[in-house]
Structure 1
Amino acid sequence: MTLASTDSATISRRVLVDACQVLGLDCAGAEPIRIAENAIWRLPGQLVARISRPGGTPTARRELAVANWLADHGIPAVRPAPGVDQPTTVDGRAVTIWEELPPHRDGTVNEVAHLLKALHSLPEPDFALEPLEPFSKIRTRLNQAAVVDDADLGWLHSYTDRLEAAWLRLVEAPTLSRCVLHGDAWVGNVAAAEDGISYLLDLDSFTTGPREWDLTSTAVKLTSTGGITSSDYEEFCSIYGADVTAWPGYETLRDIRELRMTAYACRIATEHPGHPHALREVQYRIECLMGRQGVRPWRWTAVP
């Protein structure tokens, strides 16, 4: 469980109990796997429950549709539990039930590359996926960022406006690629099982847009945060067949990704104001974006 307040865990457990009663599932002995953006619980019978934040039912429906579509196309991913009528909504929170994956570890950049190459080759599904729009969640998180002082927050809002203008110019290009995107394709959203199969996780960000968006998630680990080596990144590019850092629009996507990571840290620090690491990391990331911490790569550390 990561930085979960007692209140968050208590709320999600209550929602879990109510949902399992509706679905006729046993939740005795349920164990929290992660309480973060979504709450993830392990249930008896090799099942996993995923509980959204309030208002997450439309996203949960799309996530289930995506999972079934991926199964139809042979892409390994988390699978909805068969025979369960879902999603179930309790107090505005969507609850979905999934098959538990076999024992696994986080993916590698190579495994991410293989999955993205397969995903990006698929035709668009026959259900609606909204076009990629990176800024609404950023603005929501900044609007709620109570731990950021007014001057820095004003700069972040202005920076967001500038990046959105650059983004709109970029996506107007008639030659820009378009395909189905994972939307948040990094090693933490890939699970590599002991049998050698790698699975896509967290399907709630699926969208359509330029394939470069998914590739940038790995590239920033090299160019922005130094989280992978040059040889790791070269192998990622070799497997996928492209190097997004050589694309003229990369700096715009890189900057948007960095801002999203900073806005996410703002949300965590706001929800857990007594956590010193989150507060320090937020300020450090803001100073990096402002150009006060030298050139990339920076030394960003995880904010769970």
Structure 2
Amino acid sequence: MSGVLSTVDARTKLVGQNRLELLLFNLGGTQQFAINVFKVQEVMRLPHLTEIPDRHPVVRGVTHLRGQTVPVVDLRQAIRMGPLKAPDDEATIIVTEYNMTVQAFLVGGVDRIVNMNWSEILPPPGGAGRQHYLTAITRIDDRIVEIIDVEKVLAEIAPYNMKLSDDVYDQELLQRIKGKDILIVDDSSVALQQMHSVLEPMGLNIVQANNGLEAHQLLMHWKEMGRNISEDLVMIITDAEMPEMDGYMLTTEIRRDPDLKDTFIILHTSLSGNFNKAMVEKVGCNGFLSKFAPEAMAKETQRLMREKLGMPPLG
């Protein structure tokens, strides 16, 4: 099954074209689910699992893959649909990398990979039964496919400590940026909460958009109002993967616009570091940060803010 996965080189060709590849799978029923192929390392039959003491209820156990101990999460149970009941000889795991950690998700079976445009990926409708664990939905072969918020699943299994000590913050800089606008763009409630927790102590006015299209429309509105966005806006911090318009395309559109092209942009993503270094260079971001690393986020955003304001770097 691993042969179905694209290489990194092939994936990078989608960047800046507002396209993505989805891996379709089921959780032991007829409903189809999906995650972005960018996050997937391989797909394989469920291997032997070793149970570990005091494990989270949705972690079935651990397995050893290529010298790594990898936790295996029952994805059906993690999104509160009850444990997966597929026979072991039919169950499959999807091995993924998020925030430079490797984990596997137990699923009922994998279908195929589909190549799509982000404009075909929509936010989940209000009142959707599993909206709490969805970042988006789409329609494939006249069927609704639900795209799971894996970041939320992982945050519930291993909660992140978002509280930072005061000495992380640059008081000289904070005096300069107090009350200024910063735009944060993400479709994940967990990621938005993290950004708020890091940025609010800086005294910034946080403006929030839930996807790249919403952010781009807001920037166009500010332009019509006559705002000097590259001056007024401290920076934009954007996710890579979002419904309707991804962070790469958002950055590309900003760089094409003479009134916006000097805006500082940080790509804030759970994709692997090496991949994002290439993508930052390709689309023209000022930097990137791994998600759920609040201290690193605070330091890098402040470093770039000092650079933008012409302040000398901290020793």
Q: State the TM-score bracket (shorter-chain normalisation).
A: 0.3 to 0.5
Relative to its length, the structure with more helix (as a share) is: 1
Q: TM-score, normalised by structure 1?
A: 0.33
Q: TM-score, normalised by structure 2?
A: 0.32
Relative to its length, the structure with more strand (as a share) is: 2
